[in-house]
Amino acid sequence: MNDPLITWEEAVLWLRSQPDQQELTRACYYDDPLIEAAERFAQSAEWLATLALFPQKTGSALDLGAGRGVSSYALAKAGWRVDALEPDTSAIVGRGAIQQLTDESKLPITLLDGFAEKIPSENARYDLVYGRQVMHHAHNLQIMCNEIFRVLKPGGVFIATREHVISKQEDLPVFLASHALHHLYGGENAYLLNQYLDAMRSSGLRVQKILRQYDSVINYFPTSEEQICDIVFAPIRRILGGKLTQALMKSALAEKMKLEAAMRSRASSRDETPGRLYSFLAIKPE
């Protein structure tokens, strides 16, 4: 497949047609039936961990860059009144898919046409703004964050998950070359960590939580906990050997949790893989 810069819908249809890409297709929730993919997302370890970050009281939520609607579906099932913002009209990966999902599920989801840099909503409308893999697509990250701040109610929460991070600008071409679909439609991007943080803080948002790649299943799903433990404990295993490392991993629960947290933090600090995933939680001050 050598045609450059096809549409996002065409890129996803190409991915779905590849026999060796079916696992990735399901991991990205691009498979059909759509409602089954959405329900699988709503029951995933990633989503359950994301829910734990949300305000305890539900209300009005904006799903930024809602795609085919799996996040909007999960938000609505969790009790939120959802506006799904999506510029693409596609029946596969855009508003057509969200409408199909809304009609089939009968959940309270309202479609909005537009980009995150110009949200078609009034000031202080939402209790929650949520974006899954959205910020790194921004044409202007600062304007996007300014808009998020504008539409949030005072005390409202902004959660951005699975955002691609690079350590230096020279890493961007490396990440783009490794992406499964970027060579087809040209729509991927990544930012420096400080670019995300500076844009949020400059808008007036107060950053409360930064989750690095190994800090939460939100970032590393669908990789299993066992696989993550193998990664983060690899330095100890090289020094102490397998048996002693296994003994440490089976130690008393409290001590094991402390050790694992320390190893996850160390692994996150040392990992500079271009395009690694981070998540953020910020609030609009009262």
DSSP state at residue 259 = H
190-247, pLDDT tens digit by residue?
Answer: 999 999 999 999 999 999 999 999 999 999 999 988 888 888 777 777 777 777 767 7
Which phi and psi angles does 78 have, rounded to 5°? Answer: -80, 0
First-to-last C-alpha distance (Å) of the chain: 51
Phi-psi bin for 124: left (phi > 0), alpha (psi -120 to 50), beta?
left
User: Do 168 and 226 contact (CB within 8 A), yes or no?
Assistant: no
Which phi and psi angles does 3 have, rounded to 5°? Answer: -70, 120
280 confidence band (pLDDT: 50, 70, 90): very high
59-83, pLDDT tens digit by residue?
Answer: 999 999 999 999 999 999 999 999 9
Gyration radius from the chain CA atoms: 19
Q: Extract the tokens encoding 162.
A: 């699975």
User: Do 162 and 218 contact (CB within 8 A), yes or no?
Assistant: yes
The pairing of strands 191-192 and 152-166 is parallel
List alpha helices for 43-140, DSSP H.
Answer: 45-51, 70-77, 95-105
Rounded average pLDDT over 149-170: 98
Q: Which has more confidence, 2 or 55?
A: 55
pTM of the model: 0.92
| Chain centroid offset of residue 256 CA | 28
CATH topology of domain 16-217+271-283: Rossmann fold (3.40.50)
CATH 3.40.50.150 placement within the chain = 16-217+271-283
Rounded average pLDDT over 43-50: 97
Q: How many of the other CB atoms lie within 10 Å of CB of 286?
A: 7
Q: How many of the other CB atoms lie within 10 Å of CB of 188?
A: 19
Alpha-carbon gap, residue 29 to 32, rounded angstroms: 8
Q: Which residue has the tokens 């991927």?
A: 188
B/e letters for 87-99, b = 16+ CB within 10 Å, e = fewer, are ebebebbbbbbbb
Contacts of 66 (CB under 8 A, 6+ apart): 72, 84, 85, 86, 98
Mean residue pLDDT across the chain: 93
99-137, pLDDT tens digit by residue?
Answer: 999 999 999 999 999 999 999 999 999 999 999 999 999
Number of H helices, E strands in the chain: 15, 8
